[in-house]
């Protein structure tokens, strides 16, 4: 096949469907771009909200916007910027870039990319609709209870926040899981972890932080929504709950989240600087160390948002020191960047200007961050405009500037056209000057005592001139950012055509074409260097010419290479799903669930849930050797098998990473339990177990038996013995259902007063959590039995039981762990 024929055929297999078929797209380039464009739209909305806030604050005692509207506006400004702009747009960039940097044609779970995007879009729309209905959430973007609870926020505002954001978080979790697995399992052969572009290290850390950082917030949101809708008193003192638990769970997510935003932005900086310094980054290993340190430390800082809560002194000192320690990995990165510039020769252009702006603004924000970590100083300036100034320096400096630098840097990649310098310069300087005018002065406003989140102030406080200047600065900045956006839009029409690899960069994404082909690489090269395009510039032509691996396409499958996690050794071919409407349909059903819960029409939510479950199971059905995925073909090479013919593959890794996230949620639940038990002022523990212990024990024995049976049948299958496989699976299913029935019996018989006692409410929630897992794994096992019947699972296709196996182990683990922690521990320690 000639190179032209190859690319034409590749295109036919990998392209999105035309017209409305675009809705079925699963390709990471398309999904990544959709994330970024949608994120930009939300950025503009969030920016308009900010301008309204600054208008109201420009002069003292103004009445342009009243308190109710102002409270909605600042809540939505924070929520939109954090959840609908910063995280999704960076996820979008990561989804777009990662396969191109590691030599893959797509992410390993393309349908998950699509589901993530639609969840984000629908969740965002649902949340925004509250603003237009005039019932937006108004308790601040961190939704402190009891202000956000039903008693003090009776309207639907908080529900919009809790449900909408949880919906949006599906997209973050999806991105976290699939980026982790893609980076670990689908790099080009030979690309060991230490040969990865540094960008990938940052994204790997970000993805893992999402996996562990988001579940506490998801749990907290579910608990608060249950409190609001059903009256389960998790955060209400009167029933034995504690409002401070919300703060712990929120910031347990909220602080890592800051680094989830910062790390990908720093990834852009670490990618752009070496290219324009004309020298590899100096201190790659130091950067990797700094990234890992940042990720770890960031999970130990959350209490620094709560220094004024009245936490014990020793804990305050610990979290104060930990918060300052995070300055060390950040300083390591700053000095690695300085060193690279120092020993290189810098080319000046638009991305570098934004990088320089990043440095000034971010270092300033970092320094005030260290100040805020000092507890006595924090007691003074916490919840004042000093904090508002600090967080905008960190987020604008640490996220927006690098993002714009990255967008300018990759513009030729997105569009095939170069950015223009003139308008870009105006955009930068107006943004830079306006931003500093707004927020540098705001530090002083805070020191002069202006609390945050007040909709107006009297003229005799000495804050008037500062606020006026901040408002003027805000509008200058908005104008600057408007120019940047306009510049980017116009460039698609008027930009000069880009040459291949216009910046002389070192990384593989520039070998995917400008703009890229839907399959990125017509053939996949072996990579044994961090700087492939610097050391082997011939890759620019040999890849599209089909001179490397996987240059056959007659089978009609979307294929990428599967490699080992650390060494990058070639292991298998991963076949990927093609365009599919299932993610859209599943997300639409979930949107119905979300709206049903919002308007409290629970039958509607239930129907939505069942329909969503149907689509998701249908999705799982079209896998493996199913005709819609990878039916057997004569050309299969046993030395490099398709992953569904093996016992390991991306699905198994995806299952394990998902269970890590699930485990993080479960740990947060145990934390909440122990926290309420030991700290909550009016907690009450009954003297004996409310659930029948014998029934629980029998149910536990059954889930143990089911898990052991499943492990044995999988082990036998992996040995090639599929005798009686279907019967064995049906048997496991049966045992699973009996276990479920007993657990339900225990729950129904228990005299739980879930609306009066936080203890009972938590217990109820735990059992529901266990039931969900037991039900899921049992149904999945039943489906496996059916798939044996259809021939999709057999000795030749032993893959899927290996994917399900960790789910059984997890179900077993949480069952006994829960019985021990929630039933036996109170019996031993007493009430």
* Residues numbered 129-168 forming contacts with other proteins, rule: CB under 8 A: 139-140, 144, 146-147, 152
- Rule CB under 8 A: say whether 278 interacts with other proteins: yes
In angstroms, the first-to-last Cα distance of the chain is 76
From candidates 21, 22, 133, 383, binder to other proteins by CB under 8 A: 383
In angstroms, give the least distance from the CB of 822 to other proteins.
Answer: 23
CB closer to other proteins out of 235 and 765 = 235
What would the two tokens of residue 806 be? 């960790």
CA 48 – CA 71 distance, rounded (Å): 15
Q: DSSP for 136-160, please give it.
A: ---STTTT-TTTTSTTT--SSHHHH
From candidates 30, 38, 333, 580, binder to other proteins by CB under 8 A: 333
Of residues 334-353, which lie at the interface with other proteins (CB under 8 A)? 334-339, 341-346, 348, 352
- Rule CB under 8 A: say whether 468 interacts with other proteins: no
Cα separations in angstroms, 653 against 122, 173, 200, 205, 566 = 28, 15, 18, 16, 14
Cβ atoms of 612 and 143 within 8 Å: the answer is no
CA 179 – CA 206 distance, rounded (Å): 9
- Rule CB under 8 A: say whether 456 interacts with other proteins: yes
What would the two tokens of residue 226 be? 């249950």
CA 471 – CA 384 distance, rounded (Å): 17
- Rule CB under 8 A: say whether 227 interacts with other proteins: no
- Rule CB under 8 A: say whether 461 interacts with other proteins: yes
- Rule CB under 8 A: say whether 12 interacts with other proteins: no
CB closer to other proteins out of 452 and 787 = 452
CA 703 – CA 35 distance, rounded (Å): 41
From candidates 12, 367, 490, 827, binder to other proteins by CB under 8 A: 367
In angstroms, give the least distance from the CB of 364 to other proteins.
Answer: 6
From candidates 62, 194, 380, 749, binder to other proteins by CB under 8 A: 380
From candidates 356, 534, 671, 824, binder to other proteins by CB under 8 A: 356
CA 84 – CA 106 distance, rounded (Å): 24
Judged by CB under 8 A, which stretch of 377-385, 491-499, 574-582, 735-743 contacts other proteins? 377-385
In angstroms, give the least distance from the CB of 472 to other proteins.
Answer: 18
Of residues 530-589, which lie at the interface with other proteins (CB under 8 A)? none
In angstroms, give the least distance from the CB of 260 to other proteins.
Answer: 22
Of residues 229-268, which lie at the interface with other proteins (CB under 8 A)? 237, 242-244
CB closer to other proteins out of 469 and 705 = 469
- Rule CB under 8 A: say whether 594 interacts with other proteins: no
Judged by CB under 8 A, which stretch of 127-135, 198-206, 427-435, 460-468 contacts other proteins? 460-468
CB closer to other proteins out of 171 and 384 = 384
CA 704 – CA 819 distance, rounded (Å): 13
Among the listed residues 803, 781, 817, the one whose alpha carbon sits nearest the alpha carbon of residue 718: 803
What would the two tokens of residue 250 be? 């929120």
How would you classify the pairing of strands 570-576 and 558-563?
antiparallel
Instruction: Determine the angle formed by the axes of helices 284-297 and 327-342, rounding to 10 degrees.
Output: 160
In angstroms, give the least distance from the CB of 675 to other proteins.
Answer: 14
Window 285-324: contact mask with other proteins (x via CB under 8 A): -x---x-----------------xxx--x--xx--xx--x
From candidates 71, 114, 646, 658, binder to other proteins by CB under 8 A: 71
CB closer to other proteins out of 62 and 633 = 62
In angstroms, give the least distance from the CB of 532 to other proteins.
Answer: 18
CA 719 – CA 717 distance, rounded (Å): 5
- Rule CB under 8 A: say whether 368 interacts with other proteins: yes
Backbone angles phi, psi at 744, to 5 degrees: -65, -40
The answer for residues whose C-beta is within 8 angstroms of residue 382's C-beta and 6 or more apart is 307, 308, 372
From candidates 314, 460, 635, 748, binder to other proteins by CB under 8 A: 460
CB closer to other proteins out of 367 and 701 = 367
CB closer to other proteins out of 371 and 738 = 371
Backbone angles phi, psi at 211, to 5 degrees: -60, -40
In angstroms, give the least distance from the CB of 386 to other proteins.
Answer: 9
Alpha helices (H) in 87-197, listed in sequence order: 87-102, 110-132, 157-185
Compute the Cα dihedral for 39, 221, 323, 328 and give only its sign. Answer: negative
What would the two tokens of residue 639 be? 């030395």
Of residues 672-691, which lie at the interface with other proteins (CB under 8 A)? 680-682
CA 739 – CA 701 distance, rounded (Å): 8
Enclosing H/E stretch for 318: helix 313-325
From candidates 462, 556, 632, 791, binder to other proteins by CB under 8 A: 462
Judged by CB under 8 A, which stretch of 212-220, 370-378, 483-491, 774-782 contacts other proteins? 370-378
Judged by CB under 8 A, which stretch of 331-339, 519-527, 555-563, 811-819 contacts other proteins? 331-339
Among the listed residues 731, 692, 685, the one whose alpha carbon sits nearest the alpha carbon of residue 825: 685
In angstroms, give the least distance from the CB of 369 to other proteins.
Answer: 10
Cβ atoms of 137 and 68 within 8 Å: the answer is no
Whether cis (ω within 30° of 0) applies to the bond prior to 759 is no
Window 436-455: contact mask with other proteins (x via CB under 8 A): --------x--xxxxxxxxx
Cβ atoms of 570 and 561 within 8 Å: the answer is yes
Among the listed residues 825, 701, 703, 695, the one whose alpha carbon sits nearest the alpha carbon of residue 749: 695
CB closer to other proteins out of 316 and 514 = 316
From candidates 8, 37, 133, 328, binder to other proteins by CB under 8 A: 328
In angstroms, give the least distance from the CB of 403 to other proteins.
Answer: 20
CB closer to other proteins out of 331 and 566 = 331
In angstroms, give the least distance from the CB of 425 to other proteins.
Answer: 17
In angstroms, give the least distance from the CB of 240 to other proteins.
Answer: 10
From candidates 168, 205, 272, 381, binder to other proteins by CB under 8 A: 381
The answer for residues whose C-beta is within 8 angstroms of residue 85's C-beta and 6 or more apart is 39, 40, 42, 43, 46
Judged by CB under 8 A, which stretch of 361-369, 558-566, 638-646, 670-678 contacts other proteins? 361-369
Judged by CB under 8 A, which stretch of 14-22, 121-129, 181-189, 373-381 contacts other proteins? 373-381
Judged by CB under 8 A, which stretch of 3-11, 185-193, 363-371, 703-711 contacts other proteins? 363-371
Backbone angles phi, psi at 73, to 5 degrees: -65, -45
CB closer to other proteins out of 351 and 495 = 351
Query: What does the H/E/C string look like for 349-378?
Result: CHHHHHHHHHHHHHHHHHHHHHHHHCHHHH
What would the two tokens of residue 635 be? 């050309």
Enclosing H/E stretch for 790: helix 758-790
DSSP state for residue 455 in the 8-state scheme:
S
CB closer to other proteins out of 179 and 263 = 263
CB closer to other proteins out of 278 and 631 = 278
CA 421 – CA 349 distance, rounded (Å): 8
What would the two tokens of residue 611 be? 């329909």
């Amino acid at each position: 096949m000639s190179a032209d024929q190859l690319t034409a055929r590749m295109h036919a297999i990998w392209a999105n469907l035309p017209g409305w078929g675009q809705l079925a797209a699963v390709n990471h380039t398309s999904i990544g771009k959709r994330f970024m464009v949608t994120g930009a739209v939300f950025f503009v909305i969030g920016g308009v909200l900010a301008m309204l806030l600054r208008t109201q604050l420009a002069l003292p005692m103004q009445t342009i916007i009243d308190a109710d509207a102002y409270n909605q506006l600042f809540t939505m400004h924070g929520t939109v910027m954090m959840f609908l702009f910063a995280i999704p747009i960076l996820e979008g960039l990561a989804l777009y870039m990662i396969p191109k940097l590691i030599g893959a044609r797509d992410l390993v779970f393309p349908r998950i990319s699509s589901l993530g995007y639609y969840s984000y879009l629908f969740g965002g729309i649902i949340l925004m609709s509250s603003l237009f209905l005039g019932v937006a959430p108004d308790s601040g973007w961190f939704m402190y209870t009891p202000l956000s609870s039903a008693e003090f926020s009776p309207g639907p505002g908080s529900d919009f926040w809790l449900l909408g954001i949880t919906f949006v978080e599906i997209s973050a979790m999806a991105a976290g899981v699939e980026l982790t697995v893609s980076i670990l399992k689908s790099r080009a052969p030979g690309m060991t972890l230490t040969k990865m572009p540094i960008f990938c290290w940052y994204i790997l850390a970000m993805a893992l932080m999402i996996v562990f950082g988001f579940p506490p917030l998801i749990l907290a949101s579910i608990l608060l929504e249950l409190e609001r809708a059903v009256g389960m008193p998790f955060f209400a003192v009167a029933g034995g709950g504690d409002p401070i638990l919300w703060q712990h769970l929120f910031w347990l997510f909220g602080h890592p989240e800051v680094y989830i935003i910062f790390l990908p932005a720093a990834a852009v900086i670490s990618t752009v600087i070496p290219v324009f310094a004309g020298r590899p980054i100096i201190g790659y290993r130091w950067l990797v160390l700094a990234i890992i340190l940042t990720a770890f430390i960031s999970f130990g800082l959350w209490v620094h948002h709560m220094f004024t809560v009245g936490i014990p002194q020793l804990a305050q000192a610990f979290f104060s020191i930990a918060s300052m320690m995070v300055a060390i990995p950040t300083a390591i990165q700053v000095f690695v960047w300085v060193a690279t510039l120092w020993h290189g020769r810098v080319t000046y252009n638009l991305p570098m200007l934004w990088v320089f702006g990043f440095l000034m603004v971010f270092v300033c924000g970092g320094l005030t961050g260290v100040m805020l970590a000092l507890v006595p100083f924090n007691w003074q300036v916490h919840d004042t405009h000093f904090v508002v100034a600090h967080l905008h320096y960190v987020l604008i400096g640490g996220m927006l500037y690098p993002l714009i630098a990255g967008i300018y840097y990759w513009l030729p990649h997105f569009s095939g056209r170069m950015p223009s310098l003139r308008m870009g310069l105006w955009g930068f300087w107006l943004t830079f000057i306006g931003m500093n005018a707004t927020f540098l002065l705001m530090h002083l406003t805070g020191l002069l005592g202006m609390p945050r989140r007040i909709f107006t102030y009297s003229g005799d406080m000495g804050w008037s001139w500062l606020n006026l200047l901040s408002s003027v600065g805000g509008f200058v900045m908005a104008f600057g950012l408007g120019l940047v956006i306009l510049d980017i839009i116009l460039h698609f029409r008027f930009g000069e055509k880009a040459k291949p690899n216009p910046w002389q960069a070192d990384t593989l994404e520039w070998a995917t074409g400008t703009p890229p082909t839907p399959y990125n690489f017509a053939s996949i090269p072996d990579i044994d260097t961090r700087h492939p395009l610097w050391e082997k510039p011939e890759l620019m032509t040999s890849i599209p010419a089909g001179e490397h691996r996987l240059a056959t396409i007659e089978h009609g499958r979307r294929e990428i290479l599967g490699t080992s996690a650390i060494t990058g050794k070639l292991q298998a071919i991963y076949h990927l799903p093609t365009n599919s409407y299932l993610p859209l349909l599943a997300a639409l059903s979930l949107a119905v669930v979300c709206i049903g819960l919002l308007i409290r029409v629970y039958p509607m939510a239930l129907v939505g849930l069942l329909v969503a479950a149907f689509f998701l199971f249908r999705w799982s059905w079209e896998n493996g050797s199913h005709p819609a995925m990878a039916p057997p073909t004569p050309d299969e090479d046993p030395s490099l098998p398709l992953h569904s013919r093996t016992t390991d593959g991306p699905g198994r890794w995806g299952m394990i990473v998902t269970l890590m996230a699930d485990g993080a949620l479960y740990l947060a639940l145990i934390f909440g339990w122990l926290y309420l038990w030991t700290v909550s002022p009016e907690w009450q523990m009954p003297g004996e177990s409310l659930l029948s212990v014998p029934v629980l024990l029998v149910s536990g024995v059954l889930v143990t038996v089911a898990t052991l049976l499943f492990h044995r049948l999988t082990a036998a299958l992996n040995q090639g013995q599929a005798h009686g496989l279907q019967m064995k699976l049906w048997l496991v299913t049966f045992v699973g259902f009996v276990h479920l029935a007993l657990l339900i019996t225990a729950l129904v018989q228990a005299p739980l007063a879930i609306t009066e006692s936080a203890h009972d409410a938590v217990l109820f929630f735990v059992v529901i959590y266990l039931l969900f897992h037991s039900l899921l794994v049992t149904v999945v096992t039943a489906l496996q039995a059916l798939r044996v019947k259809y021939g999709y699972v057999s000795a030749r296709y032993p893959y899927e039981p290996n994917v399900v196996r960790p789910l059984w182990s997890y179900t077993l683990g949480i069952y006994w762990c829960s019985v021990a922690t929630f039933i036996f521990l109170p019996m031993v320690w007493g009430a």
